[in-house]
Chain A
Amino acid sequence: MKRTLFRQRPDASSVGLDVGALAPMVDMMVLLLVFLLRTYSTDLAPAPLNEPFALAGTTADADRRGGVELLVSAEAVYLNGQRVAAWEYIEGSGVIDPLYTLLLQVRPKVRAEVHADAGVPWRRLERVLQTAQAAGVEEIALVGVWRGP
């Protein structure tokens, strides 16, 4: 007597393609896409190559509007990705001369966005902001990592 090990289903071609199984999958994908569109960003945060850098968190949800990119790390100041000066050589107070000279040459410089490491003290950040202001930048914004409302 022939014994069947597996029970044959009446319509084997429709296994796994049931509408009732596909519909929740579509729902899940849509939810996943909405979540990604809400939380992901196409604006990659600039960061120095050879040193640790972490932006501070913020609840501000305004998007970036471009402009001159100033990066302030624990070790140095960068302008549009180019290292301007290390802090050990520009400690002090007032305008940062090398940054000021370079900023004067940048066109246009209506707006500047400052990406500062979370640990950078105000005395350094203030000097960068003062320098940008002295060089004629009209709008200055501070950029952080959005951490939700």
Chain B
Amino acid sequence: MRLFRQHPTEEADVRPTLLGVVTLLFLLLFFLLSTSSGQRLGVIDLRLAAPGEAPPLPHSGLVKSVRLAVAERTVTIEFEVATTDIAAASESRELRRIDVPARSGSLDGVALAEALGTIHSIDPGQLEAEVHPDDDVSTATLLDVLDAVRGPTAAPLFPRVSLR
């Protein structure tokens, strides 16, 4: 015995539903284009040294300090590396220097990122870097350097950047 009577089913027409979705998407698109701008902004939080502020205490890892002297087209990276075991009673340090020359008349961002990556690989625990721009360095160059020093969001290099 059958409890439920079977009705012959009709295939539903999905076209009105799809048309509704398309209309809604068109409205959303129009709303987005009218209320937004194609220029998305990014923000870099700065850490500025206060007047008379003493330099930070040396980092306990291998790379003691990282300092970038920024000119309009070139960057010189100076970093202090401990050449003895970090637990040794008396520690000796070596100041190393990497020059990033200009490439095609502008700052070589790739070489700068590679140099900073090399220093980061020596001591991934060092998160601080000091940036010392020349007076004539443009904001565009400064932002390029800050981006390179901070590294990509997924794998940051030196996220705590001080401008001095």
Contacts and interface: CB of A to CB of B under 8 A. Distances in A.
B93 to A, nearest CB: 29
Contacts of B136: 121-123
B150 to A, nearest CB: 7
Interface string B2-39: 00000000000011001101100110110011011111
A29 B29 contact: yes
B117 to A, nearest CB: 15
A122 B39 contact: no
A53 to B, nearest CB: 11
A140 B138 contact: no
A64 B45 CA distance: 10
Contacts of B29: 29, 32-33, 36
Contacts of B163: 126, 129
B95 interface: no
Nearest to A121: B136
B121 to A, nearest CB: 20
B140 interface: yes
B114 interface: no
Interface residues of B, number: 43
A59 interface: yes
Contacts of B94: none
A82 B131 CA distance: 31
B25 A56 contact: no
A137 to B, nearest CB: 10
B42 A60 contact: yes
A71 B40 CA distance: 17
Contacts of B45: 62, 139-141
B90 to A, nearest CB: 39
Interface string A127-142: 0011001000001111
A62 B139 contact: no
A136 to B, nearest CB: 12
A9 interface: no
Contacts of A142: 43-44, 46, 139, 143, 146
Given A22-B18, A26-B25, A57-B144, 17 more contacts: A25-B22, A26-B18, A29-B26, A33-B25, A36-B36, A45-B37, A56-B143, A62-B42, A62-B43, A64-B41, A64-B43, A121-B137, A126-B163, A133-B48, A140-B45, A140-B46, A141-B46
Interface of A: 14, 17, 19, 22-23, 25-26, 29-30, 32-33, 36-37, 39-45, 55-65, 72, 113, 116-123, 125-126, 129-130, 133, 139-146, 149
